[in-house]
Structure 1
């Protein structure tokens, strides 16, 4: 968005004059979606996401159309052949902020080409436990990483003058119980763990916030005044509007007083109930006026901004966006093991491609994040197109261990594709609760939180059968989060996490397998050695308490070595780190480290910066991610990874003073290739009081 501060001031003056001319009924009408049920239950045959939805705003007197809304974490959800990118967790594994910003631009372009003005595409709920069914829709278990990636997507999207929504505010990380669970959390944990990423995205200018379904400390999020008014609007200075999640997000007109500006998708509680609440004196009309101001403020800012380009149907699913989807898939895939098995020879070999998912279009969740691209390249299709004509390429997609083993035994290498689909994880679609028509009992219970962190037993049996042939075996794992691999990982010669890789996933996979590009993704979460090392998780919980520790911070605190650490990923080349240097200038700290590609192939390294808190006088994580930089280096090439921190990177939230505090203790600075492969700066840092 390119409107100036002067433009903003003029809009505020205009709103001062406009709002008093509107009737109470007109104003309240702007605070709800409209016509969702009319289309949904009749024309659309109870299928969600087949059209843009009116999501509040709009006023005939002002000649202003309603907000036109669609979902979009991995692409614009419209039935028009939009580009399907890898899921957000995959893109999180790229650690590429510039790439995510460009993906945001592409989503914004396609949204504008479809006539949309509001895109719900920035999902940054923290991955507290890997069983969470919608882990694929977010980026990471780490607040800093989440904030940087989410801010980039929002900025890119809004550069095309379409509003982005950041969701789900807040503490939404259990799927099956999302409509009821009450999350108890103290103020310090709330501020340090579950809100920093939302503040980062809000500070980046994201226009709208979607409230979560769940409760926090006894109040549903759409009715949570502490979250919506005290923190978001007053403390953070958020100028946009807050809208509810759909269908089950609001429970009364009092949500307006708590800070909810729009009820979606219909005025179940805000319509006549809110008008009555104002007329009866239960709600002050100033609450309505504020909500309308926030809605109109964003509508006018975005509608009057200068477009950076023109838009047409040719922009939807175009070749440039397909290339971007391929780039994202290539950068996201994480090489977890490689016993000199990869890259593969492109010619003169016998290759078997095995597994039910090897030639299945498997793009991720079929809930609100579903995308229908013009095509999708499966793993097998990508490999088949990529190999030379003299390669003997065989396949078995039945998943049958015996026939697959027979094929593998007569091959030089077996590529086994295993993992999950939308039936195993994703948005929980509980039949009538979601209002969506379901075709059979199995479909009614698809998705949701995972019952197991391991591969389906049939996949493990397939891997074991192929391993018995002693043919070189490459295991490619599809999924949206952490998967336990200890029961079979020793059997594989190489393991590649390929996620739900988007419409060009098969192309990207083939290019990595055959060495056209070196894998460069790194895990945006830690994989535990044992499930008991994780925080408590109950997908049917009525209430649950969230604490300070999860993921790598929990493993650090308990001195537990994970199976694979946060930030881990292998390459076809090698990177050497020099000794980090540190310099303070005023209120900023500058850390620099030279990184050299000491291998024989071009590749990318993701340098990670952590601040250590072991000298703290209070309970704090041993270290926290505070920066990362992705460097593309040719063989023998060196470059400087440079990081700049200010005092906020070292502070903690003091519940006694309700403020951020910086303690005068020594802080450690670490730089390295993962959360467990770090080099310490030679000097500790002490901030002056």
Structure 2
């Protein structure tokens, strides 16, 4: 048993300080003489990347956090967390950098797919389930980003101003819930809050988090967010990451010796790091866990449970497989599915199942035909051809032809010894004509096709920074005439400056001969007109939804809206599948038979989609965020800082709270989602501590319902929302079965922040609802 206080006494100041800063991009140093191994961190939250991004060590890719939240099920979130705990231990990772509980304040937030919801209660409960699952495997979590990192614009420098009540009731609430449930870590945001950068924000990190809430874990900076030696040390930060541009080390040692930073402050940080080390087995190995979780099965379950059936006219879904002879599958994203969002949430999955592949597998004997229709991607997709990658004497295979990593190199190679890589494939075209190849990445390239040099050069200027290279990629295209069935050797050589190979993002893109944009749409319309049903997959691209920038519009990119309308006019049985991590505009909604929202569905997305479309599984999701009919209707939309500041002037009226105050109707409200059966809400009984709801499956199929309980003041109060989510629970029932569910109403339900939590006495209406705009049964309650 490790005695932490004894260990602290054995460490000198330099050793103590060494434990508080990254020794490289992902880890803290070991101290062998006290038996402490290096603590390793990894990006998440939909998979465990490990210390690199190498495709020779793939990672299970679960659906995006918005998808997990759409299931409204903390137990499912816990299962997902357990799977990632298993993955982390397999990869030698001690701490997973997630989950993200920043709120979806405006739908333009570019990273919203990585956040759970616009509601703090739903966000907090899903996060608690996830954290419990990961930590059950002895793997730490760092819930992020504390606090106000609800957008990407100028996130490194911007200051967010939030009044104390709004902070407590809305933005801090999910963090507080995770701390209450025993989370082991939090990550400090880049931005400032109310006058202080978060990495140095003693008010939030020391006084509230560690003092008031009693948090005993570690506060880790976002990467390069700590910029002050003394300010961060006195502001509650415990670990500054990574090694690059780190303000601690020798500078912090000097600050302690000069008296600027008391050594007992350092001791508290070290105590927290050592406590984490004990929890994650960095001193003594953790016991083995006997269960082995099936990643494919869990990824599939989370996907089906997350899909939101937003519209289903005339019971179009589920489709009867026996009645189908010809199915049209349309859309670039139907073949090249976007299964995860851009930025730190990305991993390299072992495989992905596209919507097209899923439907082809699920419908043997049915003529499943494909048309691109409209392609919103500004870059060409990676070439689908088995490709050999050679780097520093190490080789591995990929398909498609894309290579990406951050941190450790494949095969444990030393970046100082690597000056490039090489991709080799033999491509066999399936059609004759002009094929377009593309190079994307950074460094200097040479592309050879069929032994002939087609491109040599660099895509970025020599002084381009890391952020520009990763978040603002460039592409070079070349066109080559090829003959169907004739193999063609393709070689892409990349030269990289020695010492910089720890970051690589290289793609060999390809597009076969195809009609122009008008011709692609006409081709899709002809296919749809001659099919029993048309499944159109539309969505966003990595240039629309990603870490590093916010969205400029909620409209689908490219000509996808036109495609949907044209296909719907040709075939009344048009089902639209929306492959996006957060809200998009859908001006064609009333024209189509069904709309299914599938988020970024993870590696099993296409298989899960086929099951839901064909009724093998019910779409179990409910919206965790409001989907607008028009951008102008959104109660909060603009993000642009003014003089370096974003003021949250709307206060507590965020998400559906703001929609209710505005009186405008969204396209689809918070909590909305249809299933394949119908539910009758029979009665509700309430007291000051719980709501008891009885409901019956009144349909012909077994199904699942998310019972949502909302609370509203009996007398409207303009300082409070018209109603707010107080609790929720999942129920399952067979046809005709009646079930009863008990949903707690904790004291916080009836409280506001007023220099402390204060219960607001008086009458309340407690409603069990199918969605925030679909109340079913209500009861009155008096709170004293």
CA distance in 2 between counterparts of 1:623 and 1:616 reads 9
1:284 matched to 2:254? The reply is: no
CA distance in 2 between counterparts of 1:370 and 1:470 reads 36
Alignment match, 2:15: 26
CA distance in 2 between counterparts of 1:354 and 1:382 reads 13
Equivalent of residue 455 in structure 1, options 556, 566, 571? 556
The answer to whether the 8 Å contact 1:350/1:393 transfers is yes
CA distance in 1 between counterparts of 2:539 and 2:717 reads 44
1:378 matched to 2:354? The reply is: yes
- Superposition deviation, residue 527 in structure 1: 1.4
Q: 1:594-673 maps to which residues of 2 (within 5 A)?
A: 594-615=694-715, 619-654=719-754, 658-673=755-770
1:352 matched to 2:324? The reply is: no
- Superposition deviation, residue 455 in structure 1: 1.2
- Superposition deviation, residue 305 in structure 1: 8.1
CA distance in 2 between counterparts of 1:58 and 1:190 reads 38
Could you report, residue by residue, the CA deviation over 1:402-448 in whole angstroms, capped at 9, with x for unpaired residues?
Answer: 110011111111110001122211111xxxxxxxxxxxxxxxxxxx2
CA distance in 1 between counterparts of 2:29 and 2:685 reads 52
The answer to whether the 8 Å contact 1:364/1:421 transfers is no
Equivalent of residue 256 in structure 1, options 233, 239, 255? 233
Alignment match, 1:509: 609
1:475 partner SS: strand
CA distance in 2 between counterparts of 1:354 and 1:502 reads 20
Alignment match, 1:326: 300
Alignment match, 1:101: 78
1:149 partner SS: helix
Could you report, residue by residue, the CA deviation over 1:99-152 in whole angstroms, capped at 9, with x for unpaired residues?
Answer: 110110000011011111111121111110111011111111000000000010
Alignment match, 2:443: none
- Superposition deviation, residue 467 in structure 1: 2.1
For the aligned residues, what is the CA RMSD?
1.7
- Superposition deviation, residue 471 in structure 1: 4.0
CA distance in 2 between counterparts of 1:383 and 1:414 reads 12
Q: How many residues align?
A: 625
CA distance in 2 between counterparts of 1:604 and 1:524 reads 17
Alignment match, 2:369: 394
CA distance in 2 between counterparts of 1:222 and 1:247 reads 10
1:580 partner SS: strand
Could you report, residue by residue, the CA deviation over 1:201-259 in whole angstroms, capped at 9, with x for unpaired residues?
Answer: 11111111100011101211101111100110000000011010012443333201100
- Superposition deviation, residue 307 in structure 1: 2.9
The answer to whether the 8 Å contact 1:144/1:197 transfers is yes
Alignment match, 1:538: 639
- Superposition deviation, residue 590 in structure 1: 2.2
Equivalent of residue 279 in structure 2, options 296, 301, 310? 301
1:667 partner SS: strand
Which structure is higher in helix share?
1
The answer to whether the 8 Å contact 1:351/1:412 transfers is yes
Q: 1:612 to 1:665 in 2, by over 3 A?
A: same
2:780 partner SS: coil
The answer to whether the 8 Å contact 2:768/2:775 transfers is yes
1:515 partner SS: coil
The answer to whether the 8 Å contact 1:517/1:603 transfers is no
Alignment match, 2:546: 426
The answer to whether the 8 Å contact 1:408/1:471 transfers is no
Q: 1:540 to 1:376 in 2, by over 3 A?
A: farther
CA distance in 2 between counterparts of 1:209 and 1:590 reads 31
1:15 matched to 2:119? The reply is: no
CA distance in 2 between counterparts of 1:617 and 1:324 reads 44
Q: 1:257-276 maps to which residues of 2 (within 5 A)?
A: 257-266=234-243, 268-276=246-254
Could you report, residue by residue, the CA deviation over 1:627-647 in whole angstroms, capped at 9, with x for unpaired residues?
Answer: 111112111112112112232
Alignment match, 1:678: 775
Alignment match, 1:77: 49
Alignment match, 2:566: 465
2:528 partner SS: helix
TM-score of the superposition, structure 2-length normalised?
0.78
CA distance in 1 between counterparts of 2:223 and 2:333 reads 32
2:98 partner SS: strand
The answer to whether the 8 Å contact 1:213/1:221 transfers is yes
1:685 partner SS: strand
Equivalent of residue 336 in structure 1, options 304, 310, 334? 310
CA distance in 2 between counterparts of 1:638 and 1:306 reads 45
CA distance in 2 between counterparts of 1:618 and 1:395 reads 53
CA distance in 1 between counterparts of 2:295 and 2:782 reads 44
- Superposition deviation, residue 379 in structure 1: 0.4
- Superposition deviation, residue 684 in structure 1: 2.2
Which structure is higher in strand share?
2
2:233 partner SS: helix
Could you report, residue by residue, the CA deviation over 1:499-532 in whole angstroms, capped at 9, with x for unpaired residues?
Answer: 1100110011001111112212110011123322
The answer to whether the 8 Å contact 1:31/1:57 transfers is no
Alignment match, 1:577: 681
The answer to whether the 8 Å contact 1:244/1:250 transfers is no
Q: Any gaps of 5 or more consecutive residues in structure 2?
A: 375-519
CA distance in 2 between counterparts of 1:23 and 1:127 reads 45
- Superposition deviation, residue 468 in structure 1: 2.5
Alignment match, 2:39: 67
CA distance in 1 between counterparts of 2:228 and 2:45 reads 26
The answer to whether the 8 Å contact 2:328/2:531 transfers is yes
- Superposition deviation, residue 308 in structure 1: 5.3
Alignment match, 1:442: none
The answer to whether the 8 Å contact 1:57/1:295 transfers is no
CA distance in 1 between counterparts of 2:279 and 2:317 reads 51
The answer to whether the 8 Å contact 2:74/2:125 transfers is yes
CA distance in 2 between counterparts of 1:617 and 1:124 reads 28
The answer to whether the 8 Å contact 2:533/2:571 transfers is no
CA distance in 2 between counterparts of 1:32 and 1:677 reads 51
